[in-house]
Structure 1
Amino acid sequence: MLSKIKYHLLLLSLILILTAVGSEAQDEIAKITFILGEASVSHNDGKGWEDISFNTKIFAGDIIKSGAESRCEITLRDNTVIRMGENSEFKFDNVNVEAGDISGNANLSLGSIWSNLQKIKAGDEPISVKTPTSVMAVRGTVYRVDAGADSTTSVLVYEGALDVKLTEELEKRIQTQDKGKPGPPKQVKGPKQIPGPYEVTLEEWMRIVAGMQINIRKDGKYHSFQFDSEQDAQNDWVKWNLERDEYLKRQ
């Protein structure tokens, strides 16, 4: 009888340990703090998609989708805010939030995000956000990203700065294509032409500071410029995010 009790106590202890380990592995990194319209999340547990509501927990590896005319706000444990526009898909690949610091990688495969990222301690790795054509290294920045259905990426910075470059996949594809191309033909010198905004391929990290925008096409060519802040502020998505940021500052 005593041996059976010991056996059951040992079994119970093992269950509690395994449960604790599973819980630790599934520590939440964020919560849904605003939802307008419809959005869903896949927890990468084989259970498919479930509807999002206020205070839904978000874990590393989760994929979030927003529907038409919908918006979703995600607040990480370090108070970083990421908002998704309509018809967007965003994944927290291996994002980790510990002791108020955020690290790891996220992926915007389609749609729009607005991010108000908390400052990262000097020496810590920046969080990287990837789209089909580019990857951004971000530290303490307010910015937005649009990933179009044609794989074009647009990045606008409102506060701080970020670094952007092509994804490794796109770089390799461009290199493969360039190897098969014949050398440029010799031309007779004529009037000097100024190259258009998309004549150059983004080949290394480029810093984008507040007030600047960069558009990157699926062929790797880019155009960076200073955007019109007054005109941009008339955009409904931008206006709502600025108002939301200001509201959260007062809380």
Structure 2
Amino acid sequence: MDIRVDKEKSMKKPGAVIAGIGLLIFFLYLTPAIAAVRVMTVKMARGDARVGVLIGNAQVISAEKSSARSLNRNDRLYVGDEVATGSGSRLELLLPDSSRVRFSGNTRFRIQEIKYGEHNDSRCIRINVSMGKAWANVSRAVGKQGIFELQSENAIAGVRGTVYRMNVENDQSTLVKVYEGQVHVSGGGKTKSTTPAVMSPPSKIAGPRSVSGPRKVAMEEWTVIVRAMQQISINADGTAGMPSDFVMEEDRDDWVDWNRSRDEIDDSE
């Protein structure tokens, strides 16, 4: 009897060992998956942006510091931060409302305002592009009272739930192209100095007289609605043409194709 019991115990041991090994393998397999989920669910603060993609290099000067530092993936950007991307580089920012803004190489921009709350009227995002190319995929979470704007020296493009891009040249002329939805593009309202012309009398020569100096003249403000597959050009002096249609095939280049592929990836997440 004693020998039979020992045999039964010895026969049960291999099964227990196999079960233990299987349990260990299960936890080893599950642990990386849990870690990956944690990486993908990084929470955004309500007043900052996160670097989601960085190809190449970029420099940032924060509002509190005068010296530049290198920007890295997952770094945070705050109001007042100024960023310059290197030649051939590409940068994607993830904003608190799940919108994404991307910048090409040789682009300079500044975070003007990032405010995100529970209510639509407390969502306000403004980014100033002083030079270069920007592509915005704006979340529909920005409701009727929310604000999302890309700004240049001569134009402001405000949108809700759409896809568009802005090119700012060295002379501050600006091009806005809309791919989905519609964009309200506005400009003018600034002042420029002008010197009034002095006209001489047709016959009799008048004596010396004082001439008023340069004076400021307000530029006429304008707002244009640019719809899907339309573009608008804003001149360096702030004047704008009328929106015109463009064809996707003629618009394609490396920058456009990369952004459209990124939009597909982001929309599927």
TM value normalised by structure 2 = 0.69
- How far is the alpha carbon of 1:82 from its aligned partner? 0.4
Aligned-pair distance for 1:40?
1.5
The 1:121–1:54 alpha-carbon spacing in structure 2 relative to 1, beyond 3 Å, is same
User: What is the 5 A alignment of 1:162-181?
Assistant: 162-169=183-190, 172-173=191-192, 176-177=193-194, 180=196
Q: Which residue in 2 is equivalent to 1:48?
A: 67
Match of 1:226 in 2: 245
**Matched residue SS, 1:93:** strand
Show CA shifts across 1:182-225 (max 9, x none): 9xxxxxxxxxxxxxxxxxx9742110011100011112332321
One of 146, 171, 174 as aligned partner of 1:153: 174
In the superposition, relative to structure 1, how do residues 82 and 31 fare at CA in structure 2: closer, same or farther (>3 Å)? Answer: same
Residue of 224, 228, 231 corresponding to 1:210: 228
Give me the whole-angstrom Cα distance separating, in 1, the residues matched to 2:249 and 2:197: 44
Equivalent position to 1:238, from 256, 261, 268? 256
Give the equivalent residue in structure 2 for 1:82: 101
Number of residue pairs matched? 202
Which of these two proteins has the greater Rg computed from alpha carbons?
2
Q: Is the 8 A contact 1:72 1:85 kept in 2?
A: yes
Identity level (%): 27
1:63 maps to which of 75, 82, 87:
82
Question: Residues 128 and 136 of structure 1 are in contact (CA less than 8 Å); yes or no, is this contact kept in structure 2?
Answer: yes
Q: CA deviation at 1:137?
A: 1.9
Give 1:36 shift.
0.5
Letter in 2 for 1:180: P
> 1:25-40 counterparts in 2 under 5 A?
28-40=47-59
Counterparts of 1:160 and 1:225, CA distance in 2: 15
Alpha-carbon distance in structure 2 between the residues aligned to 1:203 and 1:28: 31
Contact kept, 8 Å, 1:60 with 1:96, in 2: the verdict is: no
Counterpart for residue 96 of structure 1: 115
Contact 2:100 2:138 in 1 (8 A): yes
Are 1:75 and 1:82, in contact at CA under 8 Å, matched by a contact in 2? yes
Unaligned runs of 5+ in 1: 1-25, 183-200
Aligned residue for 1:195? none
Displacement of 1:71 in angstroms is 0.4
- Equivalent AA in structure 2 for residue 74 of structure 1: L
SS in 2 for 1:168: coil
User: Any unmatched runs of 5+ in structure 2?
Assistant: 1-44, 199-218
- Indicate the RMSD between aligned Cα atoms, in angstroms: 2.3
Deviations 1:17-60 (A, max 9, x none): xxxxxxxxx96511000000111112211252111111001112
* Residue in structure 2 matched with residue 21 of structure 1 by the alignment: none
Query: One-letter code of the match for 1:130?
Result: Q
TM-score using structure 1 length: 0.74
1:248 deviates by: 1.4
Change (3 A) 1:27 1:79: closer
Q: For residues 96-148 of structure 1, what are the alpha-carbon distances to aligned partners after superposition, in whole Å with 9 as ceiling and x for unaligned?
A: 122386304220000010000112212x1422321011112222221000000
Matching of residue 128 in structure 1 with residue 149 in structure 2: yes
